[in-house]
């Protein structure tokens, strides 16, 4: 049981780092996805910055295990939205987005395991 919780915590941290990295790339305008072709209601630079900031915050919360269920659902929505908007335009990463969606669904339903700020706050109450 403890080994399973440790593996879940490791998966949570890696998943969070994936979102953190994607957010940092977008905030510094170095995205592999041409967001300007997908989001047309604002300039490409603004869209990249705001999308990157949201991804960064989701990744930070998931990696730290803070508000993990809420962050998991946010990550699920974000990955699904990315898939829905980018894939028809021929720019989606189908396999990686599907993996992100499945993992985000798991954290949205199950929450965080040991080694998380959610666990620390729950023990103090």
What confidence score (pLDDT) does residue 49 get?
82
**Per-residue pLDDT at 58 exceeds 90:** yes
3-state DSSP assignment of residue 120 = helix
- How would residue 57 be classed by pLDDT, with cut points 50, 70 and 90? very high
79-118 pLDDT per residue, tens: 888 787 776 666 656 777 788 888 888 888 887 767 777 7
Domain extent for 78: 2-124
**Looking at the 3D structure of the chain, how many domains does it have?**
1
What confidence score (pLDDT) does residue 20 get?
93
- Beta strand residue intervals within the chain, DSSP E: none
> CA-CA distance, 22 to 26, in Å (whole number)?
6
What confidence score (pLDDT) does residue 10 get?
84
CA angle (88 as vertex; 86, 89 as ends), nearest 5? 65
> CA-CA distance, 16 to 12, in Å (whole number)?
6
8-37 pLDDT per residue, tens: 888 888 989 998 998 898 888 777 666 666
**Per-residue pLDDT at 44 exceeds 70:** no
> CA-CA distance, 49 to 44, in Å (whole number)?
9
- Judge contact between 54 and 75, C-beta under 8 A: no
């Amino acid at each position: 049981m403890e080994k399973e919780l440790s593996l879940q915590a490791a998966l949570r941290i890696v998943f969070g780092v994936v979102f953190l990295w994607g957010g940092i790339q977008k905030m510094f305008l170095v995205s592999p996805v041409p967001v300007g072709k997908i989001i047309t209601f604002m300039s490409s630079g603004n869209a990249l910055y705001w999308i990157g900031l949201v991804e960064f915050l989701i990744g930070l919360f998931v990696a730290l295990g803070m508000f993990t269920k809420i962050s998991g659902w946010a990550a699920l929505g974000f990955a699904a939205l990315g898939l829905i908007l980018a894939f028809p335009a021929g720019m989606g990463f189908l396999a990686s987005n599907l993996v992100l969606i499945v993992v985000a669904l798991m954290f949205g339903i199950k929450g965080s395991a040991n080694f998380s700020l959610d666990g620390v706050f729950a023990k103090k109450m």
